[in-house]
Amino acid sequence: MPNKTILITGIAGFIGFHAARRFIREGYRVIGLDEVNDYYDPTLKEARLTELGTDYTFYRVSLEETAAVARIFEQESIDLVLHLAAQAGVRYSIDRPDVYMTSNIVGFLSILEACRHYPVEQLIYASSSSVYGSNTKMPFATTDAVDHPLSLYAASKKANELMAHTYSCLLYTSPSPRD
């Protein structure tokens, strides 16, 4: 799929960085979005961004900045979205639940709304094994129930899965609300 534009949220994170490197190498036009917060070492994140060089476009934006996210979609003609950004950490969600709701729920809604108003070919959302919560069956399977998360982080990731499913159904399996 070279000659496609992909937006990678959380590009300064471990997975985002490695995904960006691969997509750049394969000829994609890469747009990166990350707020570069201090939950993990910002120096490491900045080093990753520097290592990517000049072969991509970077926006230092928080996902919950809905208008800024929409402007990126409007300006960049995005074909694909790889949504990796999230406030991570199970323990931190106990101390700062507001951060998880803002980043993971409001931030993901911002991405979904941008995809709705500036249609993309595909949105790939990275959830978390934390959604399996109190399941005891190992190994986990995608068919396992994920109805009993054990942390606010896990609950936010499960909520995102439900939001993605709902948007997918509304946008691709039924008439558009604009019709």
Residue 36 region, left (φ>0) first, then alpha (ψ -120 to 50), else beta? left
Instruction: Summarize the confidence of residues 113-141 as an average pLDDT.
Output: 83
Instruction: Summarize the confidence of residues 60-89 as an average pLDDT.
Output: 94
Instruction: Summarize the confidence of residues 111-130 as an average pLDDT.
Output: 88
Let me know how long the chain is. Answer: 179
Per-residue pLDDT at 125 exceeds 50: yes
Task: Count helices and strands (H / E) in the chain.
Answer: 7, 5
Q: Where are the beta strands (DSSP E) in the chain?
A: 5-9, 29-34, 56-60, 80-83, 122-125
* pLDDT level of residue 69 (50, 70, 90 thresholds): very high
The mean of the pLDDT values for the chain is: 87
Residue 20 region, left (φ>0) first, then alpha (ψ -120 to 50), else beta? alpha
Q: Does the annotation mark 39 as catalytic?
A: no
Per-residue pLDDT at 77: 94
Q: Could you give the CA distance from residue 99 to residue 132 in angstroms, rounded to a whole number?
A: 22
Higher pLDDT, 86 or 1: 86
Per-residue pLDDT at 177 exceeds 50: no
Per-residue pLDDT at 147: 80
Per-residue pLDDT at 172 exceeds 80: no
* pLDDT level of residue 129 (50, 70, 90 thresholds): low
Residue in 56, 59, 132, 153 annotated catalytic:
153
pLDDT tens-digit profile of 4-44? 999 999 999 999 999 999 999 999 999 999 999 887 788 99
Instruction: Summarize the confidence of residues 48-68 as an average pLDDT.
Output: 95
C-alpha distance from residue 112 to each of 10, 60, 124 (Å):
15, 19, 11
Q: Which two tokens stand for residue 74?
A: 């409007």
Q: How many CA atoms lie within 13 A of 95 on its CB side?
A: 7
Per-residue pLDDT at 42: 87
